[in-house]
Amino acid sequence: MGNEHLVSIIINNYNYDRFLAESINSALNQTYPHIEVIVVDDGSTDGSCEIIVGYGDRIIPIFQVNGKQGAALNSGFAASRGDLILFLDSDDFLLPMAVERVVEVWMPEVGKIHYRLQVVDIEGQPLGNFIPTTTAKLACGEVWRELIQTSGYVSTCMSGNAYSRKILNQVFPIPDAYKTTADDYLMISTPFYGQLVSIEDSLAAYRIHNSNQWALASVSGSRFRRFVQHDLQNFALLLQRAKEFGFEVPPNLEMRSFARLWSRLASLRLEPQAHPVPSDHSLQLTYWGIRSLWLFSEFNWQKRIIYSIWFLWVGLMPVSLAYFGIAWLQAPHLRPKAIDWTLTRIRALVS
């Protein structure tokens, strides 16, 4: 598309005054000139409002009572004018050429462009890993076909996506049921309305800190319980979208996603008494997880073996040992260096 197209960067913020300025500055300092920056403060009680006011007319400020992420994005989108929309969480930040790179690959038939996120610490220093991992290629093309066959696709978090306004007009406003999981609502809904384009480079940073809603600063059963609960909600949304478009889904679709199954297994092992799916059993989830790897994943055989070992380890070992397997897969920044070194040696031997 031509460089004359306006791009809206919508930053949603709630009590992140310690990160907010870096996020806003990253949006304002883009190499692409035709942008508007909208900052939605969702009822912050810290110093966020003062920071926002300090930018004057360089940004479009919106102040509202606390309604959670979905309400903030709804307000920001309603105020935006851009042909292309980037949503940026206020604890994350864009790299300078992010918008320029996105505009370069945008075409009329594209509904979403996603790119990798570099994981950083609370000070903004790289931790050495990415979302998604660099070994996983981001999905592209008619991704709805993959969605209705596997119930998922390789994508990234909120700050790693740009959307066509034409597509967002068909899925907004975000329902209140997704007020804390707006990125999942968009991830599932948008592929049905347009093609996806992937940029394999990292164009933004995802910050890990103790206040992240979904990021694993630590491994706990409560975090995985929330993952499972929102996975169940997402699966229901997927079935709804497929029905709206007249697509049939396989009857065992829910058992085809090993990512969904590893979250359920982790939740069950860490806090069985509070696990959201009472009918789940460790052996059953272990079997389903390995089955999904070998029948439905696109991993090479080395990865399938490694992840199969993970399911066996987490499903069969005592909880104290299963914990280390869960931390290795779900929170790479918490991995013991010795485990990473061992896995690197194993990959070298089997490659």
Listed in sequence order, the residues at least 6 apart from 231 whose beta carbon sits closer than 8 Å to its beta carbon are 260, 263, 264
- Residue pair 178/171 in contact (Cβ under 8 Å)? The answer is no
Model pLDDT, residue 336:
53
Task: Specify which residues 88 forms β-bridges with.
Answer: 11
Model pLDDT, residue 238:
95
Average pLDDT over residues 309-320: 94
Model pLDDT, residue 52:
98
Regarding whether 177 and 92 lie in a shared domain, the answer is yes
What is the C-alpha to C-alpha distance for residues 95 and 99, in angstroms, rounded to an integer?
Answer: 9
By the 10 Å C-beta count (0-12 exposed, 13-18 middle, 19+ buried), 180 is classed as middle
Q: Is residue 321 part of a domain?
A: yes
**Domains of the chain: total:** 2
Regarding whether 146 and 226 lie in a shared domain, the answer is no
Span 11-44, pLDDT tens digits: 999 999 999 999 999 999 999 999 999 999 999 9
Regarding whether 106 and 81 lie in a shared domain, the answer is yes
Q: Is residue 212 part of a domain?
A: no
CATH of the domain at 98: 3.90.550.10
Regarding whether 237 and 342 lie in a shared domain, the answer is yes
Is the pLDDT at 232 greater than 80? The verdict is yes
Got the DSSP string for 162-224? EEEHHHHHHHPSPPGGGTT-HHHHHHHHGGGTSEEEEEEEEEEEEE--TT-SSS-SS--HHHH
Average pLDDT over residues 337-347: 56
Model pLDDT, residue 344:
57
Regarding whether 323 and 291 lie in a shared domain, the answer is yes
* Tokens coding 19: 């990160």
Is the pLDDT at 67 greater than 90? The verdict is yes
- pTM (predicted TM-score): 0.82
What is the C-alpha to C-alpha distance for residues 185 and 177, in angstroms, rounded to an integer?
Answer: 10
Grade residue 229 by pLDDT with cuts at 50, 70 and 90: confident
Q: Is residue 214 part of a domain?
A: no
Lowest mean pLDDT among 294-303, 317-326, 338-347: 338-347
Regarding whether 193 and 116 lie in a shared domain, the answer is yes
Model pLDDT, residue 2:
47
Is the pLDDT at 250 greater than 70? The verdict is yes
Q: Is residue 14 part of a domain?
A: yes
Residue 57's SS3 state is helix
- Residue pair 38/59 in contact (Cβ under 8 Å)? The answer is yes
CA nearest 28: which of 53, 45, 43, 11? 11
Task: Specify which residues 131 forms β-bridges with.
Answer: 117
Residue that is last in its domain, among 175, 207, 239: 207
Grade residue 1 by pLDDT with cuts at 50, 70 and 90: very low
What is the C-alpha to C-alpha distance for residues 214 and 295, in angstroms, rounded to an integer?
Answer: 29
Question: For all residues of the chain together, what is the average pLDDT?
Answer: 90
Model pLDDT, residue 230:
85
What is the residue range of 293's domain?
221-350
- Residue pair 209/125 in contact (Cβ under 8 Å)? The answer is no
